Amino acid sequence: MDPLFLANSYFRRRRFDDCVELCNKVLQKNPYEQAFWYLKARALTEQVYVDEVDYDEEGIAEMLMDDNAIAKVARPGTSFNKPTTSSGGPSPSVRPTTQSGRPLSGFLRPGTQGGRPGTMEQAIRTPRTAHTARPVTSASGRYVRLGTASMLSQPDGPFINVARLNLSKYASRPNLSKVLFEYLFHHENDIRSALELAALTTEACQFKDWWWKVQLGKCYYRLGLLREAEKQFKSALNMIDMVDTFLYLAKVYVRLDQPQKALEVFNKGIEVFPGESTLLTGIARIYEGINDLTSAVKYYKSVLHHDNTHVEAIACIATNHFYSDQPEIALRFFRRLLQMGVYNTQLFNNLGLCCFYAQQYDMTLNCFERALQLASDEEMDDVWYNLGHVALGIGDMTVAYQCFKLSLTSNNNHAESYNNLGVLELRKANNEQARAFFQSAASLGSHMYEPHYNFSVLAEKSGDLHSSYVSVNKALTSFTDHIESRNLLSQLKEHFAAL
């Protein structure tokens, strides 16, 4: 059989290893065989291909040394940094929040958990339920790992020696330049050379190819030159409307912390491509980010209208229903996920909770059993925590106590469990124990207002007004509209102001 045909067939069947091996054989005989060179480069690229459109987790360095911020104190609703400023979101006492003070999302994606921390200390701490630490910078996070992994697979040295490449030669050969670019960008992760190649090629085709402009933008984005990236994407959009370009441009704005601008881009995209689910999802994510859940759910619903197997949309809508007192409807959405073949701890956990709150008692424990079977060590804590809530719901304090303890054995930093253990101890009138639990909860979960408030009430009861004042203020910083805390604070202030 013709080796070229065979290699091509391997490539199309995504058997990249076989393809590369075959190409190697031919290239050893004749290193100037262009077709095989082309195929090998593509096969190697495909192995490590990551869609750049996806959001990526921002690293600590980008977040703390962010010099792109437009305003230090953003106006309400115009920044991801202060999601609590926009009103209309659900109250934290009904729907729990993540570390950044944003309500819990139904779908875990990069950036939903941690948000943007204000201090170094907060940035280093791993956010709730996401146990992997944040990468130090995104440039060194997953990209470097991908680069080195691909190096290992070639014992006889790199396929292309980037340093010795004559880029201007390739720039004038459009058939090879695109492959070479993707290889450099994805496989070698050598953004500088890729950028150089892209710049040379755009020049060679007299700035008339939109594809190269998008690639230039991608390189600039990777290098953190966001404004340059924005320029390239915009000029690409002037030439031709593409879904991807819209997504890239919006991504730049998200990184620049300009949610309104990103929304504008998405809406322009929707006008050209009505019903494109990726664009709609983007809009919904941004609304979720700025704490406008009503709009977010509206857009998730329209995503489902166009793509009725969209896992993220179903999960988010279900979560929203659950937290707005409609566990029955949430149950239906989660069941749909189960029918679609999602089969993991989280789903069974959620199903169990929905069953319990919708009074389908016969199913509740079965769901939780399944969740526990499927749970890895990292996920075990949340399942036990929720089981503790079920036990509280049927009034069985002993079981609840044990559940929260078990949650702590699998994750020693589970702040919510500490808080609830404190409340249980308080019911048994073990004030000292309760105080210790609240303190550890408060130190572990700075995003929660509950332990601070509980601690404050406890301190006020025992007459220690000073500690009470300190912690009630902390409670109010994470939940400004908490009525009980406010009442307590005004009482304390009265005490202090009296002569």
| Interface of this chain with another protein, residues 132 to 171, rule: CB under 8 A | none
Residues 30-49 interacting with another protein (rule: CB under 8 A): 42, 45-46, 49
Nearer to another protein, 52 or 62 (CB): 52
Q: Is 357 a residue that touches another protein (CB under 8 A)?
A: yes
- The residues in 262-281 that bind another protein, with binding defined as CB under 8 A, are 278
Asked if residues 63 and 254 have their Cβ atoms less than 8 Å apart, the reply is: no
Number of residues that bind another protein (CB under 8 A): 89
Task: Between 27 and 55, name the residue whose CB sits nearer to another protein.
Answer: 55
Interaction between residue 397 and another protein (CB under 8 A): yes
Helix, strand or coil, per DSSP, at residue 353: helix
CA atoms within 13 A on the CB side of 487: 4
Asked if 349 touches another protein (CB under 8 A), the answer is: yes
Q: Toward another protein, which CB reaches closer, 49 or 273?
A: 49
Residues 6+ apart with CB under 8 A from 53: 244, 247, 248, 251, 278
- Interacting residues of 234 by C-beta distance below 8 A, sequence separation 6+: 249
Contact between 291 and another protein per CB under 8 A: no
Q: Is 104 in the site for another protein (CB under 8 A)?
A: yes
Which residues 313-332 are close enough to bind another protein by CB under 8 A? 315, 318-319, 322-323, 325
> Rounded to the nearest whole angstrom, what is the least distance from the CB of residue 156 to another protein in the complex?
26
For 4, half-sphere exposure in the C-beta direction (CA atoms, 13 angstrom radius) is: 6
| CA–centroid distance for 34 within its chain | 41
Residues in 360-389 that interact with another protein by CB under 8 A = 361, 379, 382, 385-386, 389
Site for another protein in 452-491 (CB under 8 A): 453-454, 457-458, 461-466, 469-470, 473, 483-484
CA–chain centroid gap for 491, Å, is 41
Contact criterion met (CB below 8 Å) for 42 and 65:
no
Q: Provide, rounded to whole angstroms, the least separation between the CB of residue 298 and another protein.
A: 20
Q: ∠ CA 93-95-96 to the nearest 5 degrees?
A: 85
Could you tell me the two tokens for 43?
A: 């096969």
Is residue 439 within 8 A of residue 433, CB to CB? The reply is no
Q: Is residue 93 classed as helix, strand or coil in its secondary structure?
A: coil
Q: Is 105 in the site for another protein (CB under 8 A)?
A: yes
Interface with another protein includes 57 (CB under 8 A)?
A: no
- Interhelix angle 311-323/277-289, nearest 10 degrees: 30
* Residue pair 34/3 in contact by the 8 Å Cβ criterion: no
231 or 389, CB closer to another protein? 389
Q: Does 53 bind another protein (CB under 8 A)?
A: yes
Residues 425-454 that bind another protein (CB under 8 A): 426-427, 449-450, 453-454
By the rule CB under 8 A, 183 interacts with another protein? no
HSE at residue 337, side-chain half, CA atoms within 13 A, is 27
* 411 lines the binding site for another protein (CB under 8 A): no
Which one of 118, 158, 274, 393 is in contact with another protein (CB under 8 A)?
393
